[in-house]
Structure 1
């Protein structure tokens, strides 16, 4: 495999912005920046709790749009999924089930939980990463997809 678009500076800046936004949300709202929890809170809104969740999610979408509009997304048009849309939807649903069972998602445990030195988040993050490694091995090496 050849890495075509290795961009350490934008990745570093993006990671710093994610960390800053997670810290700001914790400081200003006392909330963890876990996407599954934020979206889940929209399904059962509590008075005074809807605005920050909506703004956070709108910011996620607008950030991606702004990145593309400013021309930073140039050169990634060739990236295409190597599996069917049906399999992608199924994978998304499984991620949602896993986030529910694991009491949080990769962003909540991996970014915020580890920063708070949560043992539960460490175990969850190791599980996410291990599952991802096994999945990539099975799909690429055993199934021969995307190799």
Structure 2
């Protein structure tokens, strides 16, 4: 019955952090843009980007401290497949002018037409990929 609580809490924290970043800094919580911002000169915006990304990285250890165990994860793909997937995601975020967090969380909340189109494209691509893999790999 309580299996929905951790995802609910995570979703609330993601929404809260995205809203706070937008309200306090005027920035969209798109992770690809924040990570790309770390490649620029250190300054006020750079520190804010670093703090946000550090919060993402420190989330699992904080979970482990609070819950008494690490989050359950299962990665079944070999390392070369993961590396290729990472490169394709990076290419896709540049091609789509943002990632799922920027378009899906912050863009949809702002009713951005570009983000609505991007999210529909993400969903259609994901569904097509799953359908193709289920057909190719029985």
Structure-1-length-normalised TM-score: 0.85
In 2, Cα distance between equivalents of 1:43 and 1:74: 30
Q: Residue 81 and residue 63 in structure 1: after superposition, are their counterparts in 2 closer, same or farther (change >3 A)?
A: closer
For residue 134 of structure 1, give the secondary structure of its aligned residue in structure 2.
helix
Greater helix content: 2
1:123-134 correspondence runs (5 A): 123-134=117-128
Distance 1:69 1:142 in 2: 41
Is 1:87 matched up with 2:108? no
- Say what the alpha-carbon RMSD is for the aligned residues: 1.8
Q: Which residue of the partner structure matches residue 32 of structure 1?
A: 28
Q: Distance in 2 between matches of 1:45 and 1:35?
A: 18
Moved over 3 A (4+): 72-75
SS where residue 27 of structure 1 aligns? helix
Q: Which residue of 2 aligns with 1:10?
A: 6
Query: What corresponds to 1:110 in structure 2?
Result: 104
| Count of matched residue positions in the alignment of Structure 1 and Structure 2 | 137
Rounded Cα–Cα distance in structure 2 between residues aligned with 1:72 and 1:31: 34
Of stretches 33-42 and 126-135 in structure 1, the one that deviates more from structure 2 is: 126-135
Provide Cα deviations, 1:93-135, integer angstroms capped at 9, x if missing partner.
Answer: 1000000010000000000000000010001011111111122
1:44-55 to 2 correspondences below 5 Å: 44-45=40-41, 47-55=43-51
Cα distance between partner residues in 2 of 1:82 and 1:126: 27
Out of 42, 53, 59, which is 1:57 matched to? 53
> What displacement does 1:46 show?
5.8
